[in-house]
Structure 1
């Protein structure tokens, strides 16, 4: 009989392909190849991060695979919850992939189409770069001459491909990890709720299993924070700076450029997406205590269970959040404050 829920590389196939092609999939068997790629490539930020954080990310991946294997054995009443989270995770991953492809392809397709049109329909073809680059060691305009133009064009195609693969792979993996933690929290609440239908040793056994599940979930959240805290901090700093520059170029009388506008949208999305998924984790954890209280304990007269429930509620009330560098809490309020900070920086630049 075919299993409904498969491991990570089957459930999130597109994300697995992106991570594999970008050599950021946490697989110890490929360590030597990743080390070689890190030394040879100048665009190795993601490979460095995943290589440095290989242990926690490998543990996260192993736990996800273990959980999805066990989900096939769950009662049917649990499976709609799992299906919903798998569907939502795929949806947000696909939306992020579409956004990255749209933004980067704007530069690539625009330059390619304009070069083709100039070649076919212009008596004096004008060449267009994917990204505007000037050669500091040569005269102005030398980048449009052969062979500089062809070399730079191919190199920029390579850069666009690298960024597409790594942005979709790394951020998609982060979305999958955080949403899996949310799923485990909601499953824990359902375990407690269903345990109330039992009494005596069976009740205590099921509550014990639920508590172990809850403790493993907190460890998972800690591993997620450990794996992505530096990257989130880097995203915050880079996005704030880029937004400031975007505001300055857009509002200071420069001509409208749809390529630049798409880049501005991508910059905003790059801080919005992690804030959105982190806010989801925070809200699910905050609601866990209420869900435990509403599990129906008042209809069960087991005294040891009644003493145990308040401890479970207290533990569920422990604040949980995704933090960057252990300092910056990612949530929707951070997204709003980032927009305000970028505008404040723009105002300072404008008044100088």
Structure 2
């Protein structure tokens, strides 16, 4: 997906870099909003998500390594655990534990786990960063409108309101680019997660033993669909909230008619919230998560 939407994804990164370079010149009360947005992205979209993905993905090779070390040291037997159980074509099932097949497959499955880790940390975390940045842009243009209404002259007010209108258009355009880059991927996540949940439930109903790594796998599957749904709902809520914030900007104290008319159109635009639509067909939000959970 990233290769297919390379130019659009790059534009998201470049706009994010340009915005943060510009934010350093904002007033102090705007810097507080920016600092909170940066903190949220670092804690949840970066560090928290990386820790979650690392725990889920590395759980398989870690437990396999522990069990192999225990068998080798305590029982003096050959290791019999892979990070991920795989079958080698044209070989009997027990033949995979014979050298050199076992060593080759151990390295291969560990390499696959590393690829999973890199891809999940990169593309999925990028979605969260983009959503948080879009929400930050919306909060900032609402704060800018409040400042614009406090301008001393009509010329200053007209100039500031014009910049706020441009900021709103850029923020919504940024969300449209996010939709373009991630709509197919989000849809794939939805269907893949439904399959994974059904697989987990099959193991439970058939009486298979749920060892720790598959318990982590089940919880990780649920969290994996919850996180993008939560981000999409956050975007929808923040974009809806901008209508209220714009209305509360202090327009009552402005005698000029033009800023009031401009504000009216901005509020009307904000009353249609921005949403992430998977496959350009259905809305991806917490209601979708609840629907998947009830399957």
Q: TM-score, normalised by structure 2?
A: 0.97
Partner of 1:89: 41
Q: Does the Cα contact within 8 Å between 1:324 and 1:330 map onto a contact in 2?
A: yes
Give, in angstroms, the shift of residue 252 of structure 1. Answer: 2.8
State how many pairs are aligned: 293
Q: Unpaired runs of 5+ in structure 1? A: 1-48, 342-352
Asked if residue 291 in structure 1 is aligned to residue 245 in structure 2, the reply is yes
Inter-partner Cα distance in structure 2 for 1:293 and 1:84: 23
- Distance in 2 (CA, whole Å) between partners of 1:139 and 1:267 is 31
Task: Tell whether 2:18 aligns with 1:74.
Answer: no
Deviations 1:176-195 (A, max 9, x none): 11110000001010111111
In structure 1, the partner of 2:149 is 196
Whether the aligned pair in 2 keeps the contact of 1:185 and 1:217 (CA below 8 Å) is yes
Q: Note if 1:261 corresponds to 2:201.
A: no
Query: Residue 204 of structure 2 is aligned with which of 244, 250, 275?
Result: 250
Does the 8 Å CA contact 1:64/1:180 hold for their aligned counterparts? yes
Note the 1:92-171 alignment, pairs <5 A: 92=44, 93-171=46-124
CA contact 1:129–1:153 (8 Å) conserved in 2: yes
**C-alpha contact 1:134 1:141 (8 A) present in aligned 2:** no
Check 1:79–1:141 CA distance in 2 against 1; reply closer, same or farther (3 A cut). same
Which position in structure 2 is the counterpart of 1:279?
Answer: 233
How much does 1:236 deviate?
A: 0.5
CA displacement, residues 8-58 of structure 1 (integer Å, 9 cap, x when unaligned): xxxxxxxxxxxxxxxxxxxxxxxxxxxxxxxxxxxxxxxxx1111011111
- Unpaired runs of at least 5, structure 2: none
Q: CA deviation at 1:126?
A: 4.1
Determine the C-alpha separation between the residues in 2 that align with 1:317 and 1:165.
Answer: 38
Distance 1:107 1:301 in 2: 66
Matched, 1:318 2:272: yes
Moved over 4 A (4+): none
1:211 to 162, 165, 183: 165
**Alpha-carbon RMSD:** 1.1
CA distance in 1, matches of 2:85, 2:11: 42
Q: Deviations 1:218-253 (Å, cap 9, x if unpaired)?
A: 110010010111110110010011101111212332
* Offset, 1:107: 0.8
User: 1:117 and 1:270 mapped to 2: Cα distance?
Assistant: 32
**Cα distance in structure 1, aligned partners of 2:77 and 2:263:** 79
Q: Is the 8 A contact 2:34 2:136 kept in 1?
A: yes
Distance 1:64 1:217 in 2: 11
Q: CA deviation at 1:326?
A: 0.3
Give me the whole-angstrom Cα distance separating, in 2, the residues matched to 1:273 and 1:317.
25
